[in-house]
């Protein structure tokens, strides 16, 4: 019992410290480290409470294409809290019960845009996950004379070269030539987004805001790419940790991304921006230990050589989510200079808050959903690789 009390006290101290260091004031995080994310409750999500938000300098009319998936609900709730009027355009199939008091227009990005005709908005936010370039062409062409600003959610994956240190939005992006696309196969995700960006900029010259997030994390994420680490560390025991702990990490909480995008709309800020953080990348060791400190876990980390993992098909960013070794052309993958973005008000929740909220969300899912994570190593495979590693290292003693 004494140990448990000590662990809980340590966690509270850690949360309090990181909340202050991370700029908790204004982010809905109290002095004791408690988070209050946007009050969004899609099916099977944890319901949160929200403190009063400051109103925007002036109310805007915002059209959101999508708005009911992962980041969309956070955008919508924040926009409403700030005093804006929001209209949703989607097929009405995903979480249709969300936001009963918000205007909803039914249609399809792939040609059925009639419900958008003859309307006026200050800005449109294009949240499409796939973002077929043709979809952007259709919507941007229709809205070019009725909307002032087009905000497009792109991705860090558009960059054809991430070897630069630091990375900026000036780095080259994929073209059909540089992507070496085999036309007999689906178009690569990075190329899809790069071409979609160009379509938005074509129809909204000087009025397009492109946001390129890295890995988007937090409650509501269905990919488990970040979730793997809090869940695995919370389980305890020996955890396989990739590399030597020095590889950098830059990610972003879905709520930080969503809220910043609304503030970009309020500022009418055109341009191309990267949405990753924090400003000074964490090392992977800091990342894992930061997650552990937000739990009461007694997990230990065994750092396993990068080449050893590659030889056993334990791939970076796949079997080892979030992690990308800073070598082999990826030196700048998590070393973005975000000075411009910070100047425009991008902020970050503490890692501890994202960790706890992600775990709360995950534990609220069905037992079947929790049984198998969609990313990372299975427990059996992890034990197998660790056993091989220990056998090799013990033989070298």
Please say if the pLDDT value at position 151 is more than 90.
yes
Mean pLDDT of 381-387: 98
Domain assignment of residue 387, given as a range: 2-395
Please say if the pLDDT value at position 21 is more than 50.
no
Q: Number of structural domains, the chain?
A: 1
Q: Are 125 and 151 in contact (CB under 8 A)?
A: yes
Q: pLDDT tens digit string along 53-94?
A: 899 999 999 999 999 999 999 999 999 999 999 999 999 998
Please say if the pLDDT value at position 4 is more than 70.
no
**According to the model, what pLDDT value does residue 396 have?**
62
Tokens of 156: 């860090």
Bridge partners of 302, per DSSP, are 240
At 12, the pLDDT band (50, 70, 90 cuts) reads very low
At 264, the pLDDT band (50, 70, 90 cuts) reads very high
Mean pLDDT of 96-114: 95
At 131, the pLDDT band (50, 70, 90 cuts) reads low
Contacts of 267 (CB under 8 A, 6+ apart): 344, 345
Q: Are 135 and 65 in contact (CB under 8 A)?
A: no
Q: pLDDT tens digit string along 316-354?
A: 999 999 999 999 999 999 999 999 999 999 999 999 999
Q: Which is more confidently placed, 57 or 20?
A: 57
Please say if the pLDDT value at position 11 is more than 70.
no
Mean pLDDT of 139-157: 97
| Average per-residue pLDDT for the chain | 88
Q: pLDDT tens digit string along 162-182?
A: 999 999 999 999 999 999 999
**According to the model, what pLDDT value does residue 8 have?**
38
Q: What is the pTM of this model?
A: 0.86
CATH of the domain at 295: 3.40.50.720
Q: What's the rounded Cα separation, in Å, for the pair 350 and 357?
A: 11
Q: Which is more confidently placed, 95 or 252?
A: 252
Mean pLDDT of 252-260: 98
Enumerate long-range contacts of 228-231, CB under 8 Å, 24 or more apart: 228/321, 228/373, 228/375, 228/376, 229/287, 229/288, 229/291, 229/321, 229/322, 229/376, 230/291, 230/294, 230/295, 230/355, 230/358, 230/359, 230/362, 231/359, 231/362, 231/373
Q: What is the DSSP letter of 29?
A: B
């Amino acid at each position: 019992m004494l140990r448990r009390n000590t662990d809980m006290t340590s966690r509270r101290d850690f949360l309090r410290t990181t909340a202050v260091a991370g700029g908790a004031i204004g982010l809905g995080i109290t002095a004791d480290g408690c988070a209050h994310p946007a009050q969004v409750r899609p099916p099977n999500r944890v319901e949160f409470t929200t403190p009063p938000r400051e109103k925007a300098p002036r109310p805007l009319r915002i059209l959101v294409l999508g708005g009911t998936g992962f980041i969309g609900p956070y955008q919508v709730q924040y926009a409403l809290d700030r005093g804006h009027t929001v209209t949703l355009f989607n097929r009405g199939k995903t979480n249709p019960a969300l936001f009963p008091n918000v205007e909803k227009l039914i249609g399809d990005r792939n040609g059925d845009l009639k419900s958008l005709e003859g309307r006026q908005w200050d800005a449109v936010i294009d949240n499409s996950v796939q973002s077929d370039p043709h979809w952007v062409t259709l919507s941007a062409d229709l809205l070019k004379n009725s909307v002032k600003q087009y905000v497009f959610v792109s991705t860090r994956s558009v960059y054809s070269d991430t070897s630069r240190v630091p990375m900026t939005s000036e780095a080259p992006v994929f073209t059909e030539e540089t992507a070496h696309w085999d036309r007999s196969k689906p178009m690569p995700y990075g190329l899809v987004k790069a071409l979609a960006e160009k379509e938005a900029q074509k129809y909204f010259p000087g009025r397009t805001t492109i946001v390129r997030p890295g890995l988007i994390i937090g409650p509501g994420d269905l990919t488990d790419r970040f979730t793997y680490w809090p869940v695995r560390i919370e389980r305890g025991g020996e955890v396989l940790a990739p590399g030597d702990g020095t590889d950098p990490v830059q990610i972003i909480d879905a709520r930080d991304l969503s809220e910043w995008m609304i503030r970009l709309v309020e500022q009418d800020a055109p341009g191309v921006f990267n949405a990753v953080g924090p400003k000074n990348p964490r090392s992977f060791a800091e990342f894992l230990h930061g997650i552990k400190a937000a739990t009461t876990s007694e997990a230990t980390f065994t750092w396993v050589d990068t080449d050893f993992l590659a030889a056993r098909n334990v791939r970076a960013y796949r079997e080892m989510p979030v992690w990308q070794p800073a070598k082999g052309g990826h030196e700048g993958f998590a070393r973005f200079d975000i000075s411009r973005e910070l100047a425009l008000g991008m902020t970050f929740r503490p890692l501890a808050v994202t960790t706890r909220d992600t775990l709360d969300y995950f534990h609220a899912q069905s037992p079947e959903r929790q049984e198998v994570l969609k990313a990372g190593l299975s427990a059996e495979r992890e034990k197998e690789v660790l056993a091989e590693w220990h056998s090799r290292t013990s033989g070298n003693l």
